[in-house]
């Protein structure tokens, strides 16, 4: 199997950052009208024609788009892996909590902030305990474990390591299997995307076969049943994606009904994966000059709901698959801290190669 090049690492982190920054503008809107989204995006592009007075040629009337908790936590994951050269739960937990303390207004989930507060207490001596206490001991099933997980497949090339450390990294905040299994699925998607060249069908089949294994353990079965879901809920949604991809067109309403656009991992990680796979093909509603990666982010945001998180997850997958070439400078430069993302990507590439 060929080793992925550095452009995939840069693409992955830039795609994730773009999805978060662009998606955050629309987060929580139940309906996003595509013409409004496209008009917003045109505002990021350099203005055609002669520059106006005081404006550099080709510059855009842009303001910097801020990143949210999705990127703040992703960066803590990356920085911990780079400092420790492997997964270290105590170091990662500390970075999550310190980052929250430093910038608490990045849009964190309502419940997860209680985990950070407990982690900051000197009385905490098991970093997994605060997450286990969430939601009366059932643990969170939010998508926070999945939204930040890309650093794991950028560190570990072995698929069993990807599963193991995606789970552990998510369990620092998300003890419900419907939360951490979403993180495993997202990590596997980035892992496969990094290999590139895979067809839609192979990509999905591999995800289904891994998730049927992941979801077959006792805790996954118990947690799914306790919430009233059928067995193997992620695997089932991956099979629904397979059905969708066989149709010539799928209405947005069907995507929202079957896959969702919510803050639960189960209602957002499969949606991100579907968006990536669907946007391998042209979309009659999205202008053809956009790259596949841009189309993926545009499509995710057009679904409404948890747009920053669905777009950051799909952006990480698409960026790993297509590489940095599909990201226009005008989009990158409109995001807060895009240069840091490039530096982190180069350091991650170095770590990945060193560990091979
Ligand atoms: O999962 P988490 O980090 O939130 C991530 C989301 C992303 O959209 C970010 O962009 C940011 O906006 O937040 O944070 P949690 O607080 O663990 O979970 C998010 C929400 O999911 C919670 O505030 C609850 O509304 C819901 N949730 C649950 N509700 C009932 N019972 C998660 N788990 C449960 C549960 O067990
Ligand atoms: Mg967010
Ligand atoms: Mg938010
Ligand atoms: Mg969100």
**222-247 pLDDT, tens digit each:** 999 999 999 999 999 999 999 999 99
- 3-state DSSP call for residue 25? coil
Which atom of ligand 1 is found nearest the CA of 264? Answer: 21
Which atom of ligand 1 is found nearest the CA of 227? Answer: 36
Q: Residue 284 burial by CB count (10 A; 0-12/13-18/19+): exposed, middle or buried?
A: exposed
For ligand 1, mutation pick of 104, 140, 179 (most atoms within 8 Å of CB): 140
- Four-point Cα dihedral 231, 234, 239, 244, nearest 10: 130
Identify residues whose C-beta is under 5 A from ligand 4, the ion. 306, 308-309
Q: Residue 230 burial by CB count (10 A; 0-12/13-18/19+): exposed, middle or buried?
A: exposed
Query: What are the tens digits of pLDDT across the range 262-320?
Result: 999 999 999 999 999 999 999 999 999 999 999 999 999 999 999 999 999 999 999 99
Q: Confidence class of residue 55 from pLDDT cuts 50, 70 and 90?
A: low
Distance (angstroms) between ligand 1 centre and the Cα of 293 equals 27
Question: Roughly how many angstroms between the first and final C-alpha of the chain, as a whole number?
Answer: 12
| 60 half-sphere exposure, CB direction, 13 A CA radius | 16
- At residue 2, the pLDDT reads 75
Q: Which residues line ligand 1 (CB under 6 A)?
A: 68-70, 107-112, 135, 138, 140-144, 147, 176, 263, 306, 308-309
* Mean of pLDDT values over 54-79: 83
* Mean of pLDDT values over 67-83: 98
Q: ipTM score here? A: 0.97
Which atom of ligand 1 is found nearest the CA of 142? Answer: 1
Q: Is the pLDDT of residue 60 over 60?
A: no
Distance (angstroms) between ligand 2 centre and the Cα of 262 equals 12
* Mean of pLDDT values over 55-81: 85
The verdict on pTM exceeding 0.95 is yes
Distance (angstroms) between ligand 2 centre and the Cα of 294 equals 19
- At residue 1, the pLDDT reads 65
Rounded Cα distance, 6 and 231, in Å: 39
Closest CA to 338 of 351, 324, 320: 324
Rounded Cα distance, 182 and 159, in Å: 16
Q: Is the pLDDT of residue 59 over 60?
A: no
* Mean of pLDDT values over 197-216: 97
Closest CA to 80 of 168, 139, 186: 168
* Mean of pLDDT values over 153-181: 98
Distance (angstroms) between ligand 4 centre and the Cα of 105 equals 13
* H or E segment to which residue 189 belongs: helix 177-195
Query: What are the tens digits of pLDDT across the range 129-148?
Result: 999 999 999 999 999 999 99
Question: Computed over its alpha carbons, how large is the radius of gyration of the chain?
Answer: 19
Q: Is the pLDDT of residue 63 over 90?
A: no
Q: Is the pLDDT of residue 44 over 80?
A: yes
* H or E segment to which residue 132 belongs: helix 129-132
- At residue 46, the pLDDT reads 81
Of the listed ligands, the closest to the CA of 263 is: 1
* 170 and 179 Cβ atoms separated by less than 8 Å: yes
Rounded Cα distance, 210 and 207, in Å: 5
Rounded Cα distance, 47 and 231, in Å: 52
């Amino acid at each position: 199997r060929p080793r992925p090049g550095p452009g995939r690492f840069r693409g992955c982190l830039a795609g994730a950052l773009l999805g978060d920054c662009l998606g955050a503008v629309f987060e929580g809107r139940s309906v996003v009208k595509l013409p409004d989204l496209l008009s917003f995006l045109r505002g990021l592009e350099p203005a055609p024609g002669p520059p106006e007075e005081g404006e550099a040629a080709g510059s855009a009337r842009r303001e910097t788009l801020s990143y949210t908790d999705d990127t703040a936590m992703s960066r803590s994951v990356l920085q911990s892996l780079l400092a420790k050269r492997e997964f270290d739960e105590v170091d990662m937990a500390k970075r999550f909590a310190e980052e929250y303390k430093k910038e608490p207004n990045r849009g964190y989930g309502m419940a997860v902030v209680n985990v950070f507060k407990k982690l900051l207490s000197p009385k905490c001596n098991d970093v997994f305990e605060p997450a286990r206490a969430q939601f009366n001991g059932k643990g969170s099933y939010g998508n926070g474990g999945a939204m930040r997980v890309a650093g794991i497949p950028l560190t570990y090339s072995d698929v069993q390591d990807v599963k193991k450390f995606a789970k552990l990294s998510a369990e620092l905040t998300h003890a419900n299997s419907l939360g951490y299994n979403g993180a495993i699925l997202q990590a596997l998607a980035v892992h496969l995307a990094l290999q590139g060249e895979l067809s839609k069908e192979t990509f999905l089949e591999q995800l289904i076969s891994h998730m049927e294994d992941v979801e077959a353990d006792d805790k996954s079965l118990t947690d799914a049943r306790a919430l009233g879901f059928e067995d193997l809920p992620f695997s089932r949604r991956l099979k629904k994606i397979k059905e969708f991809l066989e149709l010539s067109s799928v209405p947005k309403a069907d995507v929202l009904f079957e896959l969702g656009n919510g803050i639960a991992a189960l209602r957002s990680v499969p949606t991100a994966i579907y968006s990536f796979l669907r946007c391998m093909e042209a979309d009659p509603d999205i202008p053809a000059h956009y790259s596949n990666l841009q189309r993926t982010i545009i499509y995710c945001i057009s679904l409404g709901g948890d747009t920053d998180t669905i777009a950051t997850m799909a952006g990480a997958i698409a960026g790993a698959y297509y590489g940095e070439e599909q990201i226009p400078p005008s989009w990158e430069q409109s995001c807060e801290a895009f240069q840091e993302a490039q530096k982190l990507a180069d350091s991650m590439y170095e770590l990945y190669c060193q560990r091979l």
